[in-house]
Structures are given as structure tokens and as C-alpha cells.
Amino acid sequence: MKWACLALAGILALTACQSGEDRAIAELTQAEQAGEIAGAHSIRVADAEPTRLLRSSITPESRFRIASLTKVLTQIAILRLADQGELSLDQSLASLRPNLRAEWPETVTIRHLLNFSSGLPHELGNEGEGVRFDARGSALAFMDAQTESGPRFPPGSRTAYSNLGYLHLGAVIEAVTGQTYAEAIHTLVSQPVGLTETGFGRDDLGEDGHLHGWEGDPPVQVSGHPISQRYSSGGLHASLRDMERLSAALQEEDFLSPAAQDEFFTQFGRPDARDPAYMMATGHVPGFTHAWLVSRDPEFTIISLNNAIAGNPRVIPDTVTRAGSAFLPSLAERRDRYRPTASDGWTAIRGFDDMPDHDLREGLTATLNAILSGSEQQARDALMRLHGLDPTTADEADLEDFSGFARGHIRITAAFGPFHPIAWRLDGERLQIYLESEDNQRGIHFAAQPSDHNPAVASTVSLGTYGFDP
């Protein structure tokens, strides 16, 4: 394998190995030796055997929580149902989920949900408890009861990342197939492709090849939280070997029709979709960060599954982009990022004091100041108070969880800062504040959703980043 060429010649002194594949391998190898990626990685060109880089004790069959890469398998399941004539991408949500009794599902189509233009909120509005399942393992009845969280802008008018939209897609899959989401993924995706290490909702880790996730230096295990409640937006696990098999199947007409492949690579008509020659997806949950690049012209795949993140997790998609640029140079050039505009409801500010009164303003700005200070304890305590918890009386589990959140936020702001606030807006009830780096190349927005019980306390706090990924 070409890996041997790298080992013999040395990464920085290659003379004989100069193909695009070799340059891509060198990028991953350098990142692995620098501690920027750690897990299971592979590069595959056309129909050749994949070249793999595996961390000690990890095999191609080891199972990772794949986080938001789950959404790609949800997309594939929907496309397979469309190919089978079971649904249309331009069909309304209401027509497929008649028990979702509200007016807004009439205005939201499957395409809107797939391409993040539905206008639905980022998360469920049930105090962060996640999706609930009946005794059979179905979430359809629970999702049919989620009638209150409708679109916050006209569907199709713009895009905004929404985990909730993909939860509704999981329920669509259940409604159309009569199966649970886990069963449908097996029937529509795993079984046809021959995936043997892919499944749903494994909450206990450490056995049967299911890996724990680690963060920090020295590493701390942070993967004790349940994953099943993330459902069709983030609840699957998979191995490197299965991801390789699925990547190859995406361009096989007996798995996805040419029309379905076109929908997939153009991200279902998403207005800000990247070059339709390729698809790149990322995923992150505590302890796991991944990047997955599939190109159809030229044909290659790069997969990076990571369960030990010592530094900034945003380095991982950057590494995959650099590796992919060895085959597709235009990848390195696609770094335009979102900027807040008045047309999207943002109001410019020079500091937090420019913001008007809002029930969550004091708590959210105190949290951001603590994060920007770089103090993990201050950030942890501010995050806890924002969520209505007293850090002086909290139990050990809550302190550990919020310390992990604080570390993650601080890593991002410290690595690419300093950051300063430049805009705020209300997205429905959610208070959002946008921070920009001093070099104007990167942006972060924090969003706080008020609790139903106390509007000065956040039920959820989310973070979005721009300019970090390709």
C-alpha cells in the first residue's frame, strides 16, 4: 500500500510518491501525527481498495457514534423511498403525517426539511429531553405531538440548520414504512449495501466494538450521555468499513437512481449548496467529531471518524478539505461564510451594552463574557446559571457535563479569537448573538431558547460556527 511509501520516505521528503492520493494521505498522516485527528480514517479512489489510517486498538469494524452524519443516512432513506414511489420530495409534511395536526405542516415539504429551508427551530422545545419512544421503539406518536414548534420564517425563503427538521423526517420514514426508524434504516440502507456495524441508539459503550469518546489533553471520557434521543438527526453508530461501503453505493444506480444521486449531490436544491461534484458532511457529539467527503467527479472518498479530540474539533473538517484538495483543487477555494444582515433580522451592535432589554440578555451575555475570558470555571458557572442551575449546589454529574460544554466553547474562541459581538436578533423566541473574529474571517453565533417555565432561564443553548469549515 502507498502508506508504506510514506513510512519509508518520510512525509516531508517525498520524491517518488506524488499522486493526488499520496498528497491526500500525507495530509491525514501529518494531522494524525500532530494529534489533530485520532480514530479511523480512509481514502478511496474510484474502485480501488481504500487506504486506511487507524489509531491503536481501533479496527475498521470499530463502531463510532456518527452524530450528524446520521442525517445523511436519513437523506438516503428518504431518497430510496422516493425511488420506490412511496413519496415525493415536494410532497407536504401534512400529507405524509396526517396525525401531525397543525396548519404549518401543510406549508412545509420534504424538500424543505432535507435542505434546511423549512424554517423550523434548531431543536425540540421540550426542555432538552430529546425524542421519546414507545414500547415498540417508535417515535412517530411523540413527533406527531410536536405541533407547537412551527416555521420561524416562510419555508423555502432561506436556510437555517435544524435538527428538528430531521427529527420530523425520521417520523416520515416511520409513517411511510410502518417500521421504526431503526428498522427502516436497516431495510432501506444497511441491508441493501451490506452494512454490518451500523445501527441505532446504542447508549451503553465500551463493549461489542462500541467506542467511548474522549476530549481534552489529558483525555477525559465524555461519552456517557444517551444518544438514542437524537433519533434521526444524530442517533446512529457506524464503522469505518461500513462508511466506505456506503460511500461506494451512493454512486451505484441499483442503490440510488441517477435522479436521486443528483438530488443528493446538490443537497436537494439548497440555495447555498456547495459544488454539486461532491458532498461533505460533518458531525459532532461529545467525544466524537467526524468529516465525510464523497466526490463523484473525480470519484474519491475521504472519511475521518474521531473519538479522541485533544484540540479544536474544527480542525478535522479542515484536514479533510486539505486532503480532498489534492484531488479537487476547488475545495480549498470554497470558504465563503455567512454574515449577519438586516434582511435576515440581525441588528448591528458594537458591544453587548447596545442590545435592548430581553429576559435572557443578562444571562447570555454573562455566559459569553465568561467564555471569552478563557476561564473554564467561570464559563461553566455562567452556563449553569443560564440554565437555571446553581453551581454551588449542583451534583457532580451536572458540574462535569457543563465543564465539558465550557471547555468546548473556550477551545473554539481561544483558538481563533479574539471574538467580539457584532449583531443580535430574535429568531422566534430564541435570542441570538453573533460574534466575529478580529480578522473578520470567522463567525460564531450563540442562541438561547427561553424555558416555558421561566423566560429568564434557557431551556437550550446552541452554538453555530461560520468560516471554520470549507
Residue pair 2/17 in contact (Cβ under 8 Å)? The answer is yes
The pLDDT tens digits for 176-210 are 999 999 999 999 999 999 999 999 988 878 788 89
d(CA 200, CA 63): 11
Residue 465, judged by CB atoms within 10 A of its CB (0-12, 13-18, 19+), counts as middle
CA distances from 82 to 92, 183, 307 (A): 14, 18, 34
Q: What is the pLDDT, as a whole number, of residue 334?
A: 46
For 341-379, the DSSP string reads -GGGT-EE-SSGGGSPP-TTHHHHHHHHHHHHHT-HHHH
**pTM of the shown model:** 0.72
Strand order in the sheet with 308-309: 220-221, 214-215, 308-309
Q: In a structure prediction context, what are the per-residue pLDDT tens digits for the chain, which is 470 residues long?
A: 444 333 333 433 433 445 788 999 999 999 999 889 999 999 999 989 999 999 998 999 999 999 999 999 999 999 999 999 999 999 999 999 999 999 999 999 999 999 998 999 888 875 456 899 999 999 999 999 999 989 988 998 877 788 999 999 999 999 999 999 999 999 999 999 999 999 998 887 878 889 999 998 888 998 888 899 999 999 999 999 999 999 999 999 999 999 999 999 988 876 555 567 889 999 998 899 999 999 998 899 999 999 998 877 878 988 999 899 888 876 764 444 567 888 788 998 888 999 999 999 999 999 999 999 989 999 999 999 999 999 999 888 888 888 888 887 887 777 666 788 989 999 888 899 999 876 666 788 888 888 888 989 988 787 776 665 43
Phi-psi group of 67: left, alpha or beta (phi > 0 → left; psi -120 to 50 → alpha; rest → beta)? left
Domains along the chain? 342-466 (3.10.450)
Kindly report, residue by residue over 322-342, the tens digit of the pLDDT.
Answer: 899 888 876 764 444 567 888
Residues 246 and 340: beta-carbon distance below 8 Å: no
> What pLDDT sits at residue 274?
54
